[in-house]
């Protein structure tokens, strides 16, 4: 169905492009909002994703094995990285506002403990290099397959596996400093 709509859109059928947008907007929106932590500019990135698709309708090739959603998310991912790089050039990281952690009050302390563990994992993830953080998020939060991650980030399967391994090791070391490698 998507391929048929895409072929019609390539021939200038605006209704077909509109149908593609309607079918895939929600997936791209969830991907972008999750990646950008509900950044107000998320809708701009979603819009720009579909504008990029419109400009380059010929770039999607189903013979490469990627689902159309994966293809769209790879476009969105590149736009998010471009947006982040622009922000890094414009505003020093230290001046960015950091959200306050949520406060949970419960008699048993169970929810507070879970919230603290979640915050610790988020802090650990933030210490990772961007590429490791991206691969870990795609695998664990977005539940992408390894092949989908390869297609999204534009690298090889061994590289994705290595990045994923290093990211998980980095989180473990952050959460449990006793397991850090010792210099010999």
pLDDT single digits (tens) 161-175: 999 899 888 888 887
CB count within 10 Å of CB 125 equals 18
What pLDDT sits at residue 181? 55
The pTM of the full predicted model, rounded to 2 decimals, is 0.53
- Domain 104-184: top CATH class: mainly alpha
Architecture of domain 1-97: Orthogonal Bundle (1.10)
Domain boundaries, the chain: 1-97, 104-184
Among residues 110, 124, 108, 38, which one has the least CA distance to residue 80? Answer: 38
């Amino acid at each position: 169905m998507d391929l048929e709509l895409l072929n019609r859109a390539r021939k200038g059928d605006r209704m077909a492009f509109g149908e593609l947008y309607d079918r895939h907007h929600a997936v791209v929106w969830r991907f972008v909002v999750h990646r950008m932590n509900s950044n107000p500019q998320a809708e701009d990135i979603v819009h720009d994703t579909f504008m990029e698709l419109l400009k380059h309708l010929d770039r999607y090739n189903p013979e490469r094995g990627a689902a159309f959603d994966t293809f769209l998310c790879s476009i969105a991912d590149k736009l998010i990285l471009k947006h982040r790089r622009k922000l890094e050039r414009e505003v020093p990281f230290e001046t960015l506002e950091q959200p306050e952690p949520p406060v949970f009050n419960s008699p048993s302390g169970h929810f507070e403990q879970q919230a603290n563990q979640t915050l610790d994992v988020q802090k650990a993830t933030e210490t990772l290099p961007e590429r490791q953080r991206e691969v870990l998020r795609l695998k664990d939060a977005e539940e992408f397959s390894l092949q989908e991650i390869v297609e999204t980030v534009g690298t090889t399967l061994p590289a994705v596996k290595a990045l994923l391994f290093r990211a998980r090791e980095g989180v473990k070391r952050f959460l449990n400093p006793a397991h850090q490698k010792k210099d010999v």
